[in-house]
Amino acid sequence: MLIKRPRPGDSAGILPSQITAEGTYLSRRTLLQAALAAGVTGIGAAWPEPASATTDLTFKRNEAFSTTEAPNSYEDVTGYNNFYEFGTGKSDPAANSGRFKPTPWTVTISGEAETTGKFTLEDFLKPHALEERVYRLRCVEAWSMVIPWVGVPLGDVLKRFKPTSKAKYVAFKTVMRPSEMPGQRYAVLDWPYVEGLRIDEAMNPLSLLAVGVYGKTLPNQNGAPLRLVTPWKYGFKGIKSIVEISFTEKEPPTSWNISASHEYGFYANVNPNVDHPRWSQARERRIGAGLFNARIPTQMFNGYEKEVAGLYRGMDLAKNY
């Protein structure tokens, strides 16, 4: 993705020459050098960091909502990903997230709902049974993985708060903690990271609030302790480390759309027929698929067309990208 230019007044901005596409590294080393050049301390002191701790979860596999494609390895899933709060390189989230503290955690529910307030993660999840679902994740950068998530259907969670008739959208916000998230010290995005769904997308049975992966709690780099998974949309919709969920009447702003609106729309549906302005979306590289990483055709809605096509009937998907 295109990285936003630092705004005037930002103390620790990155160089315009480093502002490139998502997928071009602003590596841990570059971050460190930029930090040193800008007189920012803390990143160096945090190096090396411990890997985040995870614990086993109890859950049932939901076969009806799982692909039979072979999952990627735990190493792929936790070692190659995007979480710009920890740096923009693919290995940065694993390398830089060891200091992040996902417990204790609270989630604030706000906006157009009968029940609002601040809930501990335990209370927030208590009424729900955890289930495992193996979903494809397709990044807008044209790579993909198959991931066994553990979580609860988003719609079941949202219904409990009794959204009012004015609730047309659901907005999500990531935690803001520059002391634990070194990437937030740079204006690569307009922090905190925000995302949103139309309420019917949020209520679709495929939408999952994940708390785990591979049978264990989420490692920090995958969005501990709570993140969104919408498998028919590009990976960037899957906002991590969620602290607030808000019911809104108007379409909420989303981080990548704020950053580059001509490249990243609100809908972000996986669509092989709508190219990104700078590259094709027709094919994808399955991570871990061998040395030559053969590209496979990208499927409409990432293969979830049957489940979600109805949500967009009558919409021009080239306009609403």
- Pairing between strand 143-153 and 227-229? unpaired
**Burial class (CB within 10 angstroms; exposed 0-12, middle 13-18, buried 19+) of 146:** buried
Measured CA to CA in angstroms, residue 18 lies from 156, 251, 277 at distances of: 42, 31, 20
Taking CB under 5 A as the criterion, the residue among 236, 247, 256, 264 binding Mo ion is 236
DSSP per residue, 160-200: TT-B-TT--EEEEEE---TTT-GGGGSTTS-SSPEEEEEHH
Cis peptide before 102 (omega within 30 of 0): no
Is 139 annotated to bind a ligand? Reply is yes
Q: Which stretch binds ligand MTE (CB under 6 A): 106-114, 233-241, 257-265, 296-304?
A: 233-241
Task: Give the sign of the dihedral formed by CA 200, CA 201, CA 207, CA 209.
Answer: negative
Q: Nearest Cα to 34, choosing from 6, 55, 2, 58?
A: 6
Cis peptide before 163 (omega within 30 of 0): no
Taking CB under 6 A as the criterion, the residue among 238, 247, 271, 308 binding ligand MTE is 238
Convert residues 87-116 into a mask of x (bound to Mo ion by CB under 5 A) and - (unbound): ------------------------------
Is 98 annotated to bind a ligand? Reply is no
Contact 57, 216 (CB under 8 A): yes
Shortest CB 3 distance to Mo ion, Å? 13
| 139 lies in the binding site for Mo ion (CB under 5 A) | yes
Taking CB under 6 A as the criterion, the residue among 13, 14, 52, 83 binding ligand MTE is 83
Q: Which stretch binds ligand MTE (CB under 6 A): 8-16, 232-240, 246-254, 276-284?
A: 232-240
Shortest CB 26 distance to ligand MTE, Å? 12
Q: Which partner, ligand MTE, Mo ion, none, binds residue 222 by CB below 5 to 8 Å per kind?
A: ligand MTE
| 31 lies in the binding site for ligand MTE (CB under 6 A) | no
By three-state DSSP, how is residue 91 classified?
coil
Measured CA to CA in angstroms, residue 164 lies from 116, 117, 160, 178, 228 at distances of: 11, 15, 12, 34, 22
Is 84 annotated to bind a ligand? Reply is yes
CA distance 66 to 171: 26
CA distance 201 to 216: 27
**Nearer to Mo ion (CB atom), residue 81 or residue 96:** 81
**Nearer to Mo ion (CB atom), residue 22 or residue 112:** 22
Q: Which stretch binds ligand MTE (CB under 6 A): 36-44, 62-70, 80-88, 281-289?
A: 80-88
**Nearer to Mo ion (CB atom), residue 77 or residue 157:** 77
Binding residues for Mo ion, how many (CB under 5 A)? 4
| 235 lies in the binding site for ligand MTE (CB under 6 A) | yes
Q: Please give the residues from 29 up to 88 whose contact with Mo ion meets the rule CB under 5 A.
A: 82
| 236 lies in the binding site for ligand MTE (CB under 6 A) | yes
Q: Nearest Cα to 123, choosing from 115, 111, 133, 114?
A: 115
CA distance 48 to 267: 38
| 239 lies in the binding site for ligand MTE (CB under 6 A) | yes
Residues making up the binding site: 81, 84-85, 139, 174, 222, 227, 238-240
| Interface residue list for Mo ion (CB under 5 A) | 82, 139, 235-236
| Interface residue list for ligand MTE (CB under 6 A) | 81-85, 137, 139, 174, 193, 222, 235-236, 238-241
Residues making up the binding site for Mo-molybdopterin: 81, 84-85, 139, 174, 222, 227, 238-240
